[in-house]
Amino acid sequence: MTKKKHSLLWEISGQSLATPSYLFGTMHVRDNRAFRNIDFLEQCIQNCAAFAAEFDLKDANPQQLQEATTLPEGVSLEDYLNPRIYKKLERLLQKETGHQLEHLKYSSPILIFNLISESQFQKDNAVALDSALYNIAEKADKELMGLETFQEQMSVFSKVDIKEQCRSLKKMATHFVSFRREIKKTSELYIQGDLQKLLKKAKKSIGGMRQVLLYDRNILMADRFEQFAKEQSLFAAIGAGHLGGKKGVLRLLKKKGYTVKPVYY
Percent of the chain with pLDDT over 70: 98
The values of phi and psi at residue 21, to 5°, are -120, 170
| pLDDT given at position 64 | 93
| pLDDT given at position 4 | 55
| pLDDT given at position 55 | 96
pLDDT mean across residues, the chain = 93
Q: How many CB atoms are located within 10 Å of the residue 65 CB?
A: 15
Q: Which H or E run includes 118?
A: helix 109-118
Which strands form 259-263's sheet, in the order they lie side by side?
A: 143-148, 50-55, 234-239, 21-26, 9-13, 259-263
CA distance 239 to 174: 27
Confidence (pTM): 0.91
Strands (E), 18-142: 21-26, 50-55
Locate all alpha helices (DSSP H) within 125-236, ordered by sequence: 129-139, 150-159, 162-174, 176-192, 195-206, 210, 216-231
Is the separation of the CB atoms in 242 and 218 below 8 Å? Answer: yes
Number of structural domains the chain divides into: 1
Q: Over the stretch 10-61, which tens digit does the pLDDT of each residue have?
A: 999 998 888 999 999 999 999 998 998 899 999 999 999 999 999 999 999 9
Domain of residue 173: give its range: 3-263
Q: Over the stretch 59-107, which tens digit does the pLDDT of each residue have?
A: 999 999 999 999 999 899 999 999 999 999 999 999 999 999 999 999 9
Q: How many residues does the chain have?
A: 265
Give the up-direction half-sphere exposure of residue 126: CA atoms within 13 A in the CB hemisphere.
3
Is the separation of the CB atoms in 83 and 75 below 8 Å? Answer: no
